[in-house]
Amino acid sequence: MNLFSKSPTFVRQLFCTISLQRLETINHHIRFSSQSSKAIDNNKQQSEYRFSLPNGNLSNEQREFYEKNGFILIRNLVKPESLDHFRKRFQDVCLGKVKVLGMTVMKDVAIAKSEFADGEKAITKIQDFTLDDELFKYCCLPDIVKYVENFTGPNIMAMHTMLINKPPDPGTQSSRHPLHQDLYYFPFRPVDRIVCAWTAMEKINRENGCLVVLPGSHTGELKEHGYPDWKGGVNKMYHGIQQFDPNTKRAHLEMETGDTVFFHPLLIHGSGTNRSPGFRKAISCHYADSACEYIEVENSVQDYISKEITAIFRKKTGIENARFEDVWKIKSRLVQGERINL
């Protein structure tokens, strides 16, 4: 088209239209580039998440909280009917009505000495209930597993299970659980693909000994542990961190029945004295990505505990040459997906 053969008005209009189109295009570029930089920012943020995965139920905001603090509390996650079922099963275990292969029934150091304590009153914790189909239902609750996927990915093993029955303290303060990191007990890695779900089976507050956590401590190293030097005695296997700054900020996790906290295995945590007249119950499971691998812990900070646990296992099973990882292989159970390494 020869523009010069057209009227000046037409040419001006055409230039105007072209300019407007250009402006539109530039505008579009600006809009597009700001949208894509938002997407890039979002991807960058996602790739900066180290402690969680996009798989499960957690929102980005919740993931950010976990990344920073090493725990996330989800309110009202487990139904009271399920918790009643687990409570009843626990009572049957304590009364000896149910015997479960591999389960450890632990007595409180102070209460066990009392000849008057019987049934669940003498028992502070049952551990390793994975082979009990009734209690194992806790590990498989879809409401919990959906969050676990945010930490382990889709192939999930239940590695360690507990129903904790913190007794009213007899004045010895032995009902406390010293500050510790759960990774101390675990010979598998990577650490960030392990998570604990811990559910309050009733209202848990400072009076009956709620969980105490040191927010952000999951970013640190695995520390040296050992039995604390407590006058009133300390429960078996309740190792604690010996050296840490007592002024570090603590958070007391007060929870209602069914509330569940998910926390990282390096998070420093423990629980307080039970000053109430009742037993304080919680149920928990440590999950791991089944693609995690066993590691050697000899001569590491885990050396002492691995020998203590393996010795108990050898005595219980009569398997003389059992190794630390064998203890874990036997008690762990697949929850979802494929059993890869563990």
Ligand X SMILES: O=C(O)CCC(=O)C(=O)O
Residues sharing a CB contact under 8 Å with residue 33, sequence separation 6 or more, in sequence order: none
Q: Which residue number, 49 or 304, has a Cβ lying nearer to ligand X?
A: 304
Q: Which residue number, 108 or 289, has a Cβ lying nearer to ligand X?
A: 108
Residues 89-98 as b or e (16 or more Cβ within 10 Å = b): bbeebbeeee
Per rule CB under 6 A, is residue 182 in the interface with ligand X?
yes
Task: Residue 220: name the closest of 334, 301, 121 by CA.
Answer: 301
Span of 52-60, 61-69, 87-95, 158-166 interacting with ligand X by CB under 6 A: 158-166
Q: What letter represents residue 224's amino acid?
A: E
CA-angle at 247, arms to 245 and 252, nearest 5°:
110
- Shortest distance, position 245 Cβ to ligand X, whole Å: 20
295 token code pair: 């590691």
The torsion angles phi and psi of 314, rounded to 5 degrees, stand at -60, -40
Per rule CB under 6 A, is residue 177 in the interface with ligand X?
yes
Q: Which residue number, 189 or 236, has a Cβ lying nearer to ligand X?
A: 236
Binding letters toward ligand X, positions 248-287, x by CB under 6 A: ---------------------x-x----------x-----
CB atoms < 10 A from the CB of 173, how many?
17
Q: Which residue number, 51 or 71, has a Cβ lying nearer to ligand X?
A: 71
Burial of 219 (C-beta count, 10 Å sphere; 0-12/13-18/19+): middle
Q: Which residue number, 86 or 336, has a Cβ lying nearer to ligand X?
A: 86
Per rule CB under 6 A, is residue 77 in the interface with ligand X?
no
Per rule CB under 6 A, is residue 126 in the interface with ligand X?
no
- Shortest distance, position 182 Cβ to ligand X, whole Å: 6
Q: Which residue number, 87 or 269, has a Cβ lying nearer to ligand X?
A: 269
CA distance 103 to 276: 28
**Binding residue (CB under 6 A) for ligand X from 106, 126, 157, 164:** 164
Binding site for ligand X (CB under 6 A): 162, 164, 166, 177, 182, 269, 271, 282
